[in-house]
């Protein structure tokens, strides 16, 4: 029996955020054991609109020893404490899905049960009053404190972030080869990739290949024909138009997601500009209509021509196939509604580092990698579908479709469980926890009919004291935070602002 081939040379196809995240990680953490080469063409622009993140990025930054202040100044970053969802429920509403945790749980049930009874008794205020990050987002206040958990994320310039990571990769020995990919060479017996041919005639050989070529998936799809699982029937938006504008107001510590006739609009505040975009379904809106709607709903002067991005929501049937691993948009795309793109790049990289096949690729690792990735992607998919399906809107054909569409059984079960008794359980490996699901379900109008009976061991007076104490502590913490904008000027002001 032939022994597996040891992995000595790793080739990353494609740059951008995903490519340079992979290059920086592999070079710094495994650079003494492997050679890392990244192929990137100066002729091919990156998508580069993934400008909002979630708190899991702290894990990645700790691995690479990244200094927060330095990174934020280098990428024109601001703080993000959550997302403001506007007009999603009925066209007139607004709620925030914040980071952090709601209230206090007990061994038998989460805080939501206490809050539901408090609502029924008229002694509880809105759910966000019991979460520090939620209240801080609404008040526009924030500070990084040594004693606090890292429940914040960032708005950042994706192009500058890739450049920042590129410097880390180069420092730890990564080689960059410039060129456009012309052909992917396969071994006739195993079907594994052996090398990548460039248009300039250069050939880059390797043992393990990471596909970061974006939606095209030049290695994972065009060379290895891995297949794609289409989620368009659940997530019908298939276009985005992006434009940057100058700043007109002080930056707020949250992303805005504003529901429109056939999709939604984002606003992402950076230190030096605002990122704007319209995600929409081409079945219900033309490209020209989308451009008009986006440009009619921006603040500040446009800094560039609106750019159209076409995509198909879904995921590869395998994210690791033979000796190729897809990272970034090459692995699939779940639209950016909850800013999970960079998180999934990071998870794929960390998962690879944990299972790195230094002594040779084996099918057991491949199967485990793919199973873990599928579980995580399915969970995120369900969470995104929830925003569209759980709505009262029927004012446009798009929203009527979303409200009445069939949904995955896993999501239907989760919604029914919450509605019946305020129950929400997070399984190992899922990204979104109880606080996230609760905030979106309540924000979209799903109120539990019952609460856990253990709450009734408290008298109404005890429950009111319990709720008011948590609310008071949250308010005191936020009162001690400075203004978000003022803190950025002191903590991480970018040189070009």
Positions annotated as catalytic residues are 80
CB atoms within 10 A of CB 160: 18
Asked whether the beta carbons of 152 and 79 are under 8 A apart, the reply is yes
Q: Which residues contact 494 (CB under 8 A, 6 or more apart)?
A: 72, 73, 74, 75, 76, 77, 271, 272
Residue reference for tokens 């019991």: 130
Q: How far is CA 264 from CA 221, 243, 309, 474, in A?
A: 30, 14, 15, 31
Contact between 332 and 314 (Cβ < 8 Å): yes
Structure tokens at 162: 């890739």
Describe the crossing of helices 397-404 and 363-389 by its angle, rounded to 10 degrees. Answer: 120
Sign of the alpha-carbon dihedral angle for 235, 237, 239, 243? negative
SS3 of the chain: helix, strand, coil, percent, to 5: 40, 20, 40
CA angle 183, 189, 194 (to 5 degrees): 35
How far from 375 is each of 217, 437, 440, 442, CA to CA, in Å?
A: 21, 17, 21, 25
How would you classify the pairing of strands 314-316 and 320-321?
unpaired
Our CA angle for 322, 328, 334, nearest 5°, is 110
With CA atoms as reference, report the closest residue to 116 among 444, 473, 449, 465: 449
C-alpha separations of 63 from 24, 67, 222, 346, 397 in Å: 10, 11, 33, 11, 46
């Amino acid at each position: 029996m032939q022994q597996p081939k040891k992995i000595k040379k790793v080739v990353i196809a494609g740059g951008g955020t995903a490519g340079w995240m992979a290059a920086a990680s592999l070079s710094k953490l495994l650079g003494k054991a492997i050679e890392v080469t990244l192929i990137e063409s100066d002729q091919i622009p990156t998508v580069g609109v993934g400008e909002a993140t979630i708190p899991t990025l702290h894990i990645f930054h700790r691995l690479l020893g990244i200094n927060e202040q330095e990174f934020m100044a280098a990428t024109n970053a601001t703080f993000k404490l959550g997302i403001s969802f506007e007009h999603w429920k009925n066209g007139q509403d607004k709620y925030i899905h914040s980071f952090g945790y709601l209230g206090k749980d007990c061994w038998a049930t989460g805080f939501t049960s206490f809050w539901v009874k408090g609502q029924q008794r008229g002694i509880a205020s809105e759910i966000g009053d019991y979460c520090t990050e939620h209240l801080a987002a609404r008040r526009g206040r924030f500070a990084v404190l040594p004693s606090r958990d890292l429940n914040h994320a960032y708005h950042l310039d994706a192009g500058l972030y890739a450049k920042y990571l590129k410097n880390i990769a180069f420092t730890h020995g990564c080689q960059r080869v410039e060129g456009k990919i012309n052909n992917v060479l396969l071994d006739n017996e195993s079907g594994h990739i052996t090398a990548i041919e460039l248009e300039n005639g250069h050939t880059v050989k390797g043992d393990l290949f990471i596909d970061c070529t974006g939606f095209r998936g030049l290695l994972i799809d065009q060379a290895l024909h891995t297949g794609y699982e289409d989620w368009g029937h659940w997530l019908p938006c298939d276009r985005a138009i992006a434009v940057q504008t100058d700043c007109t107001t002080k930056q707020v510590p949250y992303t805005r997601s504003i529901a429109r006739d056939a999709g939604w609009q984002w606003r992402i505040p950076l230190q030096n500009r605002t990122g704007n975009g319209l995600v929409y379904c081409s079945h219900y809106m033309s490209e020209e209509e989308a451009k008009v709607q986006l440009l009619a709903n921006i603040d500040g002067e446009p800094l560039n021509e609106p750019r159209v991005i076409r995509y198909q929501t879904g995921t590869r049937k395998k994210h690791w196939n033979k000796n190729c691993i897809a990272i970034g948009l090459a692995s699939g795309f779940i639209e950016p509604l909850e800013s999970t793109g960079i998180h999934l790049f990071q998870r794929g990289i960390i998962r690879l580092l944990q299972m790195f096949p230094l002594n040779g690729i084996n099918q057991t690792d491949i199967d485990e990698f793919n199973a873990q990735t599928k579980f995580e992607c399915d969970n995120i998919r369900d969470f995104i579908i929830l925003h569209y399906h759980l709505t009262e809107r029927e004012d446009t054909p798009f929203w009527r479709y979303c409200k009445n569409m069939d949904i995955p059984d896993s999501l239907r079960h989760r919604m029914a469980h919450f509605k019946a008794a305020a129950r929400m359980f997070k399984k190992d490996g899922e990204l979104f926890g109880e606080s996230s699901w609760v905030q979106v379900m309540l924000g979209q109008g799903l109120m539990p009919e019952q609460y856990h009976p253990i709450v009734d061991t408290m008298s109404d007076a005890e429950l009111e004291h319990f709720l008011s104490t948590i609310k008071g502590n949250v308010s005191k913490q936020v009162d001690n935070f400075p203004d978000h904008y003022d803190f950025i000027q002191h903590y991480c002001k970018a040189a070009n602002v």
